Homo-oligomer: A and B are copies of this chain.
Amino acid sequence: MLFERIESPGLAHYSYLVGDGREAVVIDPRRDCDIYIDTATRQGYRITAVLETHRNEDYLIGSRELGERTGAEIWHADSQWDYRYGSPARDGQSWEVGGLRLEALHSPGHTPGHMSYVLHDPSGTPWMLFSGDALFSGDTGRVDLMGEGRMEEMAGLLWETIFHRFLPLGDGVILCPAHGAGSVCGGGSISPRSWTTLGLERRLNPALSYFERSLFIEKTARAHERPPYFERMEELNVQGPAPLHGLPSPPPLSPGEFGDRAGEGTVLDTRSETSFAPAHIPKALSIGRDAVAKYSGWFLPYHLPILLVDEENDHEETIRSLVRTGFDNIGGFLSGGMLSWLRAGYVVRSSGLISSEELCHRLDQGEQPFILDVRTERELDTVGRVPEAKNVPITQLPLHLHEIPCDREINVLCSSGVRSTIGASILQQFGWENVTVILGGTDAWSSTACPLEKPREEPEYTGA
């Protein structure tokens, strides 16, 4: 028997490989799909079917390439949309996998045609529930993707799905959702409890305490951020993303070559926040290595080649993150990193760096620096606000540039320094010259003159 959860960090995406008797099924494959073929083949399994839980909006699905390479059949959920490949899965349809059986369960709410799949053990007992984006560990799927006008309708459907279709399967059923903590597909509070069951969710998932349909709708029908790249993912997933056949291998570029191409592309600098600030290529966009999966879709344009700056010659993880969200056009990387650029005598830009401690000290001395706080509303509510700071969530920054003064030093604040550096690089791209990143962020905040202002009480439910 084969059961593997394949985790794609950054997107916090979980896909699954389930097999028995030499046949295997993949649920919600990612685009760089060699891992499923390799894992299955090495253990003697052949992939015969690919099951999708919904039309994904946050990454490119690997079904088409996986189908072409293995001969597996592809079964789509959300058949109300016009898929150009594969076949629609029907509620109640089932697939034999050796002695096991997978059964499709229509589970609308996140999308209208969302399907979950119940894995039955050879005795017919429900064993696992592949719940896609309907139910997560500690959270439920967001219901705002059909538009704010349909949020209550979708929330009602989700209530029905969870209380009438999922929970009756029994507390002992192992829950296998499509995402873990950090994903943008939940209500914002997916738990780090990385393995869970329906019983644990019944006890610990805040949303599952709203037995009453109208209360559930009231609590979960909320709008969330919608990254601009979602639309492209939705479109390409219906068409079928272009096959990758292995990862792209962008060429090393000398400083001269890199400089020549930089004018017609986007320079993406994935170095750490301390590395970026003192010296970077003019107009470079900073997204730290671990944040590429999450923020590329917000800030990178699709129509320009991407030129990478890093401190290593091995960009595999960065490239995986990029192609998973459709950024296939990677023009090269700066060979030898920034040091080679500097030794070649090319021009660099810098931004300021200040530790939270120093900034707090300045505040306590009575100074009044301009602080741009790029954290989310939720963080402001739960962690606390810096009084006097201007708040613009990092993802909204490009739309609110006109609200930022041009003639002052801008001190950018987040919880750590990672998003601040993204923000600082965006401001610099648009011409701001005096930009400083606050290292350590609110995590290290310690001003007595200007302490974090916490909300009066904890919000009752942080689930959605």
Contact = CB atoms under 8 A, between A and B. Distances in A.
Interface of A: 1, 3, 22, 34, 37-38, 40-47, 69-71, 121, 123, 125, 127-128, 170-174, 192-204, 245-246, 249, 251-254, 271-279, 311, 313-314, 335-339, 342-345, 347-348, 350, 353, 355-357, 415-418, 439-441, 443-446
9 contacts: A22-B254, A45-B252, A121-B200, A171-B199, A173-B197, A278-B278, A311-B311, A345-B356, A347-B355
Contact of A170 (B46, B199, B272, B439): B199
B335 A355 contact: no
B127 A193 contact: yes
Contacts of A347: 355, 357
A311 B312 CA distance: 11
B357 A251 contact: no
Task: List the 7 closest pairs (A to B, CB-CB), nearest first.
Answer: A172-B199, A345-B444, A342-B440, A171-B171, A245-B245, A343-B443, A44-B335
A441 B314 contact: no
Contacts of A357: 345, 347
A144 to B, nearest CB: 28
B343 A440 contact: yes
Given A251-B70, A338-B274, A444 B344 contact: yes
A345 B446 contact: yes
A197 B194 contact: no
A38 B171 contact: no
A41 B200 CA distance: 29
A272 B313 contact: no
Given A275-B275, A277-B278, A311-B272, A127 B339 contact: no
A180 B347 CA distance: 34
Given A3-B194, A172-B199, A46 B253 contact: yes
Contact of A274 (B70, B278, B313): B278
Given A125-B203, A172-B203, A249 B345 contact: no
A463 to B, nearest CB: 14
B46 A252 contact: yes
A95 B344 CA distance: 24
Contacts of A311: 272, 311
Nearest to A343: B443
Given A41-B249, A338-B272, A444-B345, A171 B174 contact: no
A43 B313 contact: yes
Contacts of A252: 22, 40-41, 44-46
A330 B356 CA distance: 30
Contacts of A3: 194-195
A343 B274 CA distance: 13
B249 A343 contact: no
A373 to B, nearest CB: 16
Residue from A45, A128, A345 having most chain B Cβ neighbours under 10 A: A345
A262 to B, nearest CB: 16
Nearest to A37: B249
A195 B203 CA distance: 20
Contact of A439 (B249, B274, B342): B342
Contacts of A338: 272, 274
A66 to B, nearest CB: 11
A56 to B, nearest CB: 24
Nearest to A440: B342
B199 A173 contact: yes
